[in-house]
Amino acid sequence: MNNAVTRTAKLCLLFALATSTSFSLKALTINDVWINEINYDEPGTDTGEFVEIAGIAGTDLSSLTLVEYNGNGGGTNGSLSLTGILSNTHAGYGFLSFLFPTNGLQNDDEGLALVEGSTVIQFLSYEGSFQATNGPANGQTSADIGVSETNSTPAGFTLQFLGHADNGSWTGPIASTSGSINTGQVLPDLSANNPSDSTPVPNSGATLGLLGLGLAAIATLKRRKP
C-alpha cells in the first residue's frame, strides 16, 4: 500500500470526523438565515425580481431552497435552489440576493418558504396571509409582511426587513440595498465572533461527503494490499 496515499486518506477521514464533531451537523435555524429583502413588481415587464437572504457570515446556503406558494389556493408555485456562502459584509452578517426569471414572482398574494430539506425555516407572504395546502409548508399559515409593491413602484425599489431573524418589521418600497444591510436595519454585533469571512461554516452535506471519501479511500487501498 502506498504510504503517502494512505496518510492522505487518513488525514481526509480525520478532518471530516473533526469537522462533524465541531459543528455537530447542525441544521440551520431562523437565527442563522432569514428572508431579508424582496422585489416582486417592477414597472412594465417584471425583470430583476429577487429575494435576498441574510444571516451569519460563513453560512453555506447550498442546503436551502426558496419555495413559492400561490396565495390563491395555497399550493406550491415553483422553487429556487440557493447557492453560495455568506461573506462578512456587516458586523458578522452576510447578504446574498437570488434573481427569479422574468415574471417569476406573483404580483398579488404569494408566499415564500425558506426550506432546508423538509424543514421550513421561515414562511412569509405579501398581499395577504394564507394556509399552505401542499409542499414542505403544508398546513402552516404564512406571516404577511404587511407591505407591498404595485406596478407603479419605482424601478429599483424593494421591500426590506428592519430586524434580526424573525424579530422585527418590514418597510418599503424604498431604494434597494441588495447585497448589504437594509436601510434602518439593526443587527446584533457578531463581528467579534466573525473576524473574517475566510473560514466558511461547512454544512452537513459537505462534511458527510468528506467523511465518505476518506472511508472509501482507505477501504480501496486495503483491498489492493498485496
Given this model, what pLDDT does residue 204 score? Answer: 47
Does pLDDT of 16 surpass 60? Answer: no
Does pLDDT of 67 surpass 60? Answer: yes
pTM of the entire predicted model: 0.77
Given this model, what pLDDT does residue 180 score? Answer: 97
Burial 110-129 (b: 16+ CB within 10 A, else e): bbbbbbbeeebbbbbbbbeb
Q: How many CB atoms lie within 10 A of CB 159?
A: 25
Does pLDDT of 149 surpass 70? Answer: yes
User: How far apart, in whole angstroms, are the C-alpha atoms of residue 60 and residue 203?
Assistant: 6
Given this model, what pLDDT does residue 106 score? Answer: 87
User: How far apart, in whole angstroms, are the C-alpha atoms of residue 3 and residue 175?
Assistant: 60
Residue-wise pLDDT for 20-54, tens only, equals 433 445 899 999 999 999 999 888 777 889 999 99
User: How far apart, in whole angstroms, are the C-alpha atoms of residue 219 and residue 136?
Assistant: 38
Q: How many residues are present in the chain?
A: 226
**If you ran DSSP here, which 8-state letter would residue 132 be given?**
-
Given this model, what pLDDT does residue 199 score? Answer: 44
Given this model, what pLDDT does residue 14 score? Answer: 47
Given this model, what pLDDT does residue 58 score? Answer: 96
User: How far apart, in whole angstroms, are the C-alpha atoms of residue 187 and residue 41?
Assistant: 27
- Our CA angle for 162, 158, 76, nearest 5°, is 95
C-alpha R_g of the chain: 21
User: How far apart, in whole angstroms, are the C-alpha atoms of residue 216 and residue 209?
Assistant: 10
Does pLDDT of 225 surpass 80? Answer: no
Answer with the residue of higher pLDDT: 12 or 31.
31
Answer with the residue of higher pLDDT: 3 or 147.
147
Given this model, what pLDDT does residue 13 score? Answer: 45
